[in-house]
A and B are shown apart, each in its own frame.
Chain A
Amino acid sequence: MVNFIFEARDVAKSYGVVHALKGVSIGIGEGEVHAIIGENGAGKSTLMGIFCGRLRPTSGTLHRNGDPISFNVPLDAQKAGISIAPQEINLVPDLTVFENVMLGAHETAGILIDWKKTRATAIRHLLEIDETISPSAKVSTLSKAQQQLVQIARAAATSARILILDEPTAALTSRETDKLFAYIKGFKSTGGSVFYISHRLNEILLLSDRISVLRDGTYVGELDPKTTTKDEMVRKMAGRIVGRGNPAPHTGLENREVVLKVERLTRYGEFANVSFELHKGEILGVSGLVGAGRTEMAKCIFGLTRPDAGNVELFGKKLDNRTPFGCIEQGLVYLPEERKQEGIFPLLSIAENMSMPTLGRFTGPLHMRTSEMMREVDGFVKRLGIKIGSPKDLITSLSGGNQQKVIIGRWLMQNSRVLILDEPTRGIDVAAKFEIQNELRRFTDNEGLSIIFISSELEEVLDVSDRILVMHEGQVKGIPSAKAATQESLLQLAMS
């Protein structure tokens, strides 16, 4: 039995009739990395919200070194040495890096801020994590990965003894991930403790001393990272056996009709000379580190940005002066990386979210043929296995995975022929991820859809794609067939 320095006993949290947490007891020892895993909606974020003082438990108690303690505001938790680096970027974009690190924790001299000292402290914390970020740069000029690291530095700068890291590696490249792990190990050796939340099971096996599994707001058990396997973790999280599916890559699709042809597409400073062909029924994975220019390329193909050179042909027709509107009319669609910011309409219903681009089809001379629309929405809800109450509910009532399925359904409903999917399974639990992957394969096989599948996860790209476009720093490094490729070969290709 570990001696807990911080502990939750029987903590529950309800929102009206919704029970996000149903009596969870969990603790952490000194110098321990405690991983918490669970599907989306299992209650991980709620639990961490309670730990960092952002939420107040409906019942149950918190204990620090055995003494009961309660947090009214996050500052209380910080005073108790608990700090969180949340999943979403939570920085002031127009302030400098060092000021963001020290926000609310400025070093003072009397009533004035001691800028020199503040800066020095910030730099010290920053250096421990990543020495390449300039402390005087504005946060808005940093990449997403760098912002994530700044956020972790900020949590550390509150002289925390317990760090909560919520999906810290979601936007990180492998180089940065390595740095973060080194940092965590260093923090551990000084007696610091870490609650580590991630969907990346490999990381958890590598990093953690203990794994707790949550499901539907309850504690389902503990796993020992030394003996457990990924399959066991998935099984525990899902509470059922998850069909891996593992759709086999197809070969020989090169002889089929070319649906999308990109030639020497270039945007200075983002990507250069990108050329590839996408065939009917093919899934072309796009792999590369964050900053490789994959999203930028996708947005340019879709007409959100203007290329400096090169052209795009869809079904043999040149698409000059592209706009999203025009591309969608031609059957080419883009599903953005940032579901919350660019994907969903948070104030609208599930049905409306799915049918928004298709509304024209249901508009009569005098009224919207709503029932017809609902029937079609229902059809796709069933086909994609989306778990919903009523299609009239707000989309925000759904879990991330189901929201993503609604957005995919949006484009299937539109009869799109070419889908560009940008990180479609990021932040989605394993079961929903496999379901989406399998569903996409079914649509390419049975209905001749073609898909460009952008993902940072090598394993996923290898599983899903027929061929893989490897990008690095704006350049295409190669397009190997998935059958012949391995994670190592992809990395090697990217670095070559």
Chain B
Amino acid sequence: MTQDTAITAGSAQQKKRTTLLAKFWQWEASGILVALIALMIVLSFMTDNFLSTYNMSVVARQAAFVGLVALGQTLVLLVGGIDLSVGAAAGLSAIVGSLMLTMFGVNPYLVLPLTMLFGMCLGFVNGFFIAGLRLNPFIVTLATWEIFAGITMVITKGYPIRPLGETFGYFGKGEILSVPIPVLIFLVSGIFLIWLLTQTKFGRNIFAVGGNRDAAVLVGIRAKVVEFAVFGLAGIFAALAGILFASRMDAGQPSVGEGWLMGAITAAILGGTSLRGGQGSIIGTMLGAMLLTVLANGTVLLNVSGFWQRVIVGCVVLIAVLVDLLRRRN
């Protein structure tokens, strides 16, 4: 009798363990978390200084910039769109923010929110054409990408705007409890978006519109408003990344956002966000941004040529997609 109970208890426990594991495996971001941890373990053995405080803070800071852009991109992908202009919007916002400081002498503490507001307006330009006029997001943002990048060059003629001053530099360089401020902002933004997506009506409506727009309209969701707002949010996060980077470099660089577009999309895809809309997670995107940055950092530490880095990133994306495919087949 007691033996019987022991056996059932044992199998129950085992069952619980397997379901926990199955649950973890079902989670969209499980693959990327495992990959990230594995990569970090490998790097910590193969290099001396990967786990050093300094290197960690460099990695985290880099991840924060591209990660912020990726957060906005994730929202756009979730609602079923794509935003190719995020990098250019980050660049233009950084320049405008820098000009506020240098030309108009705006209070450094006001520059951050004002730049975000400007970024939102850039996003609303996309939103107007995509949500309002129902044009194809790929085409619209391809055009605004060119326009934003072009305006940046018109304003700066290719030269950086500098210096931005010690006070303003705090946002990009400063630390709180030895955590870089951009990293803190990235984490807070991530938590905010997780809350937004899971606990608010607006967040759930994003999934509904991205998953089936026609059905969403029929249940009374104002799809246009949702899409419009999402593009605005993408603009805000791009601008935030751009201005923080300017603060960090003490200069408004015209080329700020050039590498961020593909990084942002890659991070989102690595994190399990679907390009067809309606599926994805913020946590996945954050881990995706981390993985990308750790990869880049690892190649540097291992003295691998920078050119190889792109080959490796490409391979990682393919592997991620394959793993996802296998998981779905199971």
Contact = CB atoms under 8 A, between A and B. Distances in A.
Interface string A360-373: 10010011100000
Contacts of A347: 207, 211, 278-279
Given A363-B200, A367-B199, A348 B211 contact: yes
Contact of A368 (B200, B214, B216, B220): B200
B213 to A, nearest CB: 10
A324 interface: yes
Contacts of A366: 199
B218 interface: yes
A356 B199 contact: no
A389 to B, nearest CB: 14
A255 interface: no
B208 A325 contact: no
Contacts of A367: 199
A342 B218 contact: yes
Contacts of B216: 345, 356
- Interface extent on B, as a size class? 20 to 34
Contacts of B211: 345-348
Looking at A336, A347, A363, the one whose CB has the most chain B CB atoms below 10 A away is A347
Nearest to B207: A348
Contacts of B49: none
B217 A356 contact: no
A352 B220 contact: no
B215 A359 contact: no
A344 B215 contact: yes
B222 interface: yes
Contacts of B102: none
A348 B208 contact: yes
Contacts of A368: 198-200, 204
A410 B218 CA distance: 12
Interface in A291-343: 302, 304, 323-325, 327-329, 334, 336, 341-343
B134 interface: no
Contacts of B44: none
A141 B222 CA distance: 29
Interface string A1-39: 000000000000000100000000000000000000000
A117 B220 CA distance: 51
A352 B330 CA distance: 25
Given A304-B217, A328-B219, A357-B220, A345 B208 contact: yes
Contact of A324 (B204, B205, B217): B217
A359 B220 contact: no
Interface string B253-270: 000000000000000000
A352 B200 CA distance: 13
Contacts of A343: 215, 218
By size class, the interface of chain A is: 20 to 34
A346 B219 contact: no
A360 B218 contact: no
Contacts of B157: none
B208 A356 contact: yes
Interface string A174-205: 00000000000000000000000000000000
A325 B220 contact: yes
B221 interface: yes
B19 interface: no
A197 to B, nearest CB: 27
A345 to B, nearest CB: 5
Query: Residue among B199, B204, B217, B220 with the most chain A CB within 10 A?
Result: B220
A421 B205 CA distance: 23
Interface string A132-159: 0000000000000000000000000000
Interface in B166-212: 198-201, 204-205, 207-208, 211-212
A360 B220 CA distance: 12
A341 B204 CA distance: 19
B218 A341 contact: no
Contacts of A348: 207-208, 211, 278
Contact of A356 (B200, B204, B222, B279): B204
Contacts of A346: 211-212
B218 A324 contact: yes
Interface string A394-416: 00000000000000001000000
Contact of A345 (B201, B215, B217, B330): B215
A325 B215 contact: no
A327 B279 CA distance: 29
A367 B201 CA distance: 10
A200 B207 CA distance: 37
B273 to A, nearest CB: 12
Contact of B204 (A323, A325, A352): A352
Contacts of A363: 199-201
A328 B216 CA distance: 12
Contact of B219 (A16, A323, A341, A357): A357
A183 to B, nearest CB: 33
Tell which of B216, B219, B222 has the most Cβ of chain A within 10 Å: B219
A360 B219 CA distance: 13
Contacts of B207: 345, 347-348, 352
Interface in B215-257: 215-222
Interface in B295-330: 330
A352 B215 CA distance: 13
Given A347-B279, A367-B199, A356 B212 contact: no
A366 B218 CA distance: 27
Nearest to A361: B201
Contacts of A410: 219
Nearest to A334: B218
A341 B214 contact: yes
B279 A329 contact: no
A345 B213 CA distance: 9
Contact of B212 (A302, A325, A344): A344
Given A302-B218, A347-B207, 10 more contacts: A325-B220, A325-B221, A327-B220, A336-B214, A344-B212, A345-B207, A363-B201, A366-B199, A368-B204, A410-B219
20 contacts: A304-B218, A325-B221, A341-B212, A341-B215, A342-B214, A343-B215, A344-B212, A345-B211, A345-B278, A352-B204, A356-B204, A356-B208, A359-B205, A360-B201, A363-B199, A366-B199, A368-B198, A368-B200, A368-B204, A410-B219
